[in-house]
A and B are shown apart, each in its own frame.
Chain A
C-alpha cells in the first residue's frame, strides 16, 4: 500500500490541565532551536475553534498539532511528505516522531509537570482517502503493516479497532495496549 500520509495521536492524561494557547510559545521556541526533526516553518493558532486543530507547528515534512478535533486534547503528528521504506517502517517512523514530540513536551518548563500523555492509548489515521479510505477493506489491507509497527511500540499485546464506518471520515484506528505502559519515554526507547 502506497501510504505515507500517516497520522498518530497521543492523548493528554488530563486534557483540562493545559490549554492549547500555552503551546504557542513552546512551538515558537522549538523553531528557534530546531528542537524536533524536520524543517520547521511556523505556528498556526486555531485555539478559537472549539474541537478544532488547536495549535499547529507547521513543518515541511510533517505538522505537529495540539489537537482537539480527533478526540480530547493530545499531540497529533501528521506526516505530509513521502517517506522511505516499507509501510510498517513508515508507520513506526510516525509513531517515533509523535512520541518524540510527546516526550519533549512533557519536559517543557511551561507545563511544570502538568502535561503527561497516556502511553497505553493512541490513534492511527490514514490521511489519504485514495490509498486508504475509511473502509473495512482498506483497514484489513494495512492491518499487518500496522501490527508490525505496533509490535515495536507495544511488543506484548495490543488491541486495534476501527473507530467509525462513516465513509467521509479518515480511516481511524484506536490502539490500546492490553497491559499497562509506564510512559511515553518508555515507548520511545523501544523504537530506538
Chain B
C-alpha cells in the first residue's frame, strides 16, 4: 500500500506543527468543497507562506495576445482572482538565516519534487520555491517540519521571518552576539495570540552593531541594535521603519532596552499595533503609519502602558539562562592561512568573499549566489561543504548569499576549490557585481519590469571587468526592484532601480527609475530618491556613466553618496537625460522587450497597437511636466527649503491629476475642479487604481491637497516627494489604460 509523507514521517514531526499542518490540509479539502470563503482561505494559506504568483488569474500576455490559461480546476480559486491550479510561490522562514545541512538537503529535495530545482534566497533570509501547486504544500510542510523548519507566518498579516546579522558571534565590531535573541524572539512570537490580529505584516531585525549594514535594523517595524550599558546587555530599540513604496526610517523608541525587556516590550508593541493599527486600508496599515499618526511620544506612552498590563510569561526570560545555545565553534583547529599552495583564482575570491573572524585563525566564507539562486544539486554539495569545513552551520544573508562561518583559515583554499567545482566560486561578494534583486516580472504578480533580467545583465557586464575595476567602484551597491514596493531594497543602495513603464506611441516600454543617495552602511542609514526614469535597455549605460563620472570627479576618499550630494541631483539628471530617448519601434524593437524576455512588453493585458504613430499626445507632455516638477521638489528639498519643496511636490501631483482629467473633461483647470473630476472619473470608477495598492496613490494626492503639511521637516517632505513620484508613476500606469 502506498504510504504518505504523513505516515512516513510520523513522530518525527513535532506535535504542534503536525496539528497545524493537518488543520491546513483540512482547510484545503474544505476550500475544494466550497465550504471556506476564498478570502479566508487566501489569508490562511498566506499565513503558511503559500503565496500567489504571476499569471495566477488565468491570463498571460504571450507577446502577441493575451492567452487564457485554462487549468483543470477551472472555477476553483484559492483567493480572489487566484486560480487553484495556478502555480504559486512557497516562502520558507529561516530565522536569522540559520540552517543546518539536513535542512538544506530537505530544501533541495522539495525544490526538485515540488518546484523547478531552484532555491531562491530572499532579502530577508527566507528561502523561496516557485511554481508550487497548492495541493503539494501539506507534504512539503511535513518534510520541512521533520527537520525543524516551519513556513508558518512566512506571509500574511503576521510577524515575518525574524532576521539577524549573519556574522553575529564572529563579527569583529559587534557589541555582542544577537543570535540567541533573534531566535528567542522568533520562537516567542510564532503563533502568539497577540500577533494574530494585525492589519499588515510586521518585520523584526537584529544587528550586533550600529555601524555595519548586516542587520538592516533601521528599516524594520522593530529593529534591535546590541548595546551594553554599565555591563548590562540590552538594545538600542527602534520602531516604525520600513521600505515599501514610501520608505520610513525607524525611530528610536528606547536608547537602552535591557535584555529582559526585549520580549515583553515587543509583545506590548504587537498589542498596540493589533489594537490601533489600520485594518481596512492595507496601504496605511504598517506600523510606520501608526507611529507617524500618533507621534513617537504618544506611541511610546501607549506601549509602556500596555507593557504594564501584560501578564508575565516564563518565555520572556527563560532563554536568557542559556544564551550560548546558538554558539558555534570550529570543526577544525584554528590555523592561519600560511604558505600552502592556493588554487587559481583564490586570491581574488578571498579578497571579497572572506572575512576574518574576531576569533584568530577562523574566517567567514561567503558563497556569492547569482541573483540569490542555487540549484538543488548545489544545495546538496553545499551541505557537504558545511559538514566538511564547519560544525554543520550555514547562514543566509540579506544580500541573498550564503555563508560558512568558523572555517579554519587553512581550509579556505580547499573550500574555495569545492565551491569552484560546483560553479559557485565567483568573487565579488558585497561588491558592485553582487546585485540584489526581487523576483520582479519573472514570478511576482506586482512586477512591472524585469528586475532579475536587469540584475543578471548588469552582473554579467560588470563581472567581465571586475578584475580591472577601481576599488571605489567595486565597493558600490546596486539593488533592483521590479516595482515601487522595494522588495529588492532599491532605496538603500548607491544605485537603485525600480521598475516602471512608459508609453511610446502605441507601445508600452519597460523602464526603471534611477535612485541615488541611498546608503547601505550604518544599518541602511539613508534612503535614495528617484531622479529619472530610463528605458530598461539603457540602464547598463546609466551604470557605466555614473561609475565613470564618479571615478573622474570624486575627491580623495569621497563616497558615492557624498559625491552625489556635492554635484547635486540636477547634474545627475542632466548626465542621464539623453538616455530617456526611446527609438522608434521600427528602428530598434529591442527597447520594447524586457531583459531576458523576448515578448513584446506589455503592462497588464494591453495588446499591441495597430498604429505605431509617433505623435506625442498632450497628456504625455503633461505627465513629463509633472515629473519635472517632482524632481524640482527634490532639488529644493536637498537645498533645505522644505516649505517650497512641499509646495512643489503637491503641485506636481496636481499637474499629473489635471493632465488625466483633461482627457475626459476638457477645460478643467482649477484645482477644486480637478480634484472633483479626478475623484469622480478616475478614482471612483477605479481607473486610477493599482492592482496591489488599490487607491493608495490617489489618497496621497487627496491628503496632500486637503491636509497641507503645517511644519515641513526633512522627513515629512522627503516622504511627500516620494509620494508625488509614486502618484505620477500611477498616473503613467493609468494613462496606459486610457
Is B truly associated with A? Answer: yes
Q: Chain A interface (Cβ within 8 Å of chain B)?
A: 2, 5, 21, 24-25, 28, 31-32, 39, 41-53, 56, 58, 60, 63, 65, 69, 80, 127-131, 166, 168-170
| B375 & A53 in contact (Cβ 8 Å cutoff) | yes
Q: List 9 A-B contacts (CB under 8 A).
A: A41-B87, A45-B442, A45-B453, A47-B596, A48-B371, A48-B373, A49-B118, A60-B71, A69-B375
Contacts of B20 on A, CB cut-off 8 Å? none
Contacts of A43 on B, CB cut-off 8 Å? 597
Residue of A at shortest CB range from B1?
Answer: A2
| Total A-B Cβ pairs within 8 A | 111
Q: Report the minimum CB–CB distance from B536 to chain A (whole Å).
A: 15
Beyond A2-B2, A129-B109, A168-B109, whether A51 also contacts B377 by CB under 8 A is yes
| A48 & B63 in contact (Cβ 8 Å cutoff) | no
| A168 & B108 in contact (Cβ 8 Å cutoff) | yes
Beyond A5-B113, A58-B131, whether A39 also contacts B62 by CB under 8 A is no
Which residues of chain B from 48 to 100 have a CB within 8 Å of any chain A CB?
A: 54-55, 60, 62-64, 67, 69-72, 85, 87
Does B8 sit within 8 A of A, measured CB to CB? Answer: yes
| B380 & A168 in contact (Cβ 8 Å cutoff) | yes
Contacts of B597 on A, CB cut-off 8 Å? 24, 28, 43
| B374 & A49 in contact (Cβ 8 Å cutoff) | yes
CB contact between B60 and one of A42, A45, A60, A131 (< 8 Å): that residue: A42
Does B517 sit within 8 A of A, measured CB to CB? Answer: no
Report how far A67 CA is from B370 CA in the complex, Å: 17
Q: Report the minimum CB–CB distance from A163 to chain B (whole Å).
A: 13
Report how far A65 CA is from B112 CA in the complex, Å: 12
Beyond A80-B133, A130-B5, A131-B2, whether A63 also contacts B116 by CB under 8 A is yes
| A44 & B116 in contact (Cβ 8 Å cutoff) | yes
Q: Say which size band chain B's interface belongs to.
A: 35 or more
Report how far A169 CA is from B109 CA in the complex, Å: 8
Determine the main DSSP class of A at the interface with B. Answer: loop
| B108 & A31 in contact (Cβ 8 Å cutoff) | no
Contacts of B493 on A, CB cut-off 8 Å? none
Determine the main DSSP class of B at the interface with A. Answer: mixed
Report how far A137 CA is from B378 CA in the complex, Å: 26
Report how far A28 CA is from B60 CA in the complex, Å: 12
Report how far A80 CA is from B71 CA in the complex, Å: 14
3 nearest CB pairs, A to B? A50-B423, A52-B375, A53-B117
| B5 & A41 in contact (Cβ 8 Å cutoff) | no
Contacts of B380 on A, CB cut-off 8 Å? 166, 168-169
CB contact between B112 and one of A45, A46, A127, A166 (< 8 Å): that residue: A127
Residue of A at shortest CB range from B373?
Answer: A49
Beyond A51-B378, A52-B375, whether A28 also contacts B599 by CB under 8 A is yes
| B423 & A24 in contact (Cβ 8 Å cutoff) | no
| A42 & B598 in contact (Cβ 8 Å cutoff) | no
Residue of B at shortest CB range from A30?
Answer: B62
Beyond A52-B117, A60-B71, whether A28 also contacts B62 by CB under 8 A is yes
Contacts of B109 on A, CB cut-off 8 Å? 129, 168
Contacts of B108 on A, CB cut-off 8 Å? 168
Q: Report the minimum CB–CB distance from B440 to chain A (whole Å).
A: 12
Report how far A147 CA is from B453 CA in the complex, Å: 43
Q: Report the minimum CB–CB distance from A164 to chain B (whole Å).
A: 11
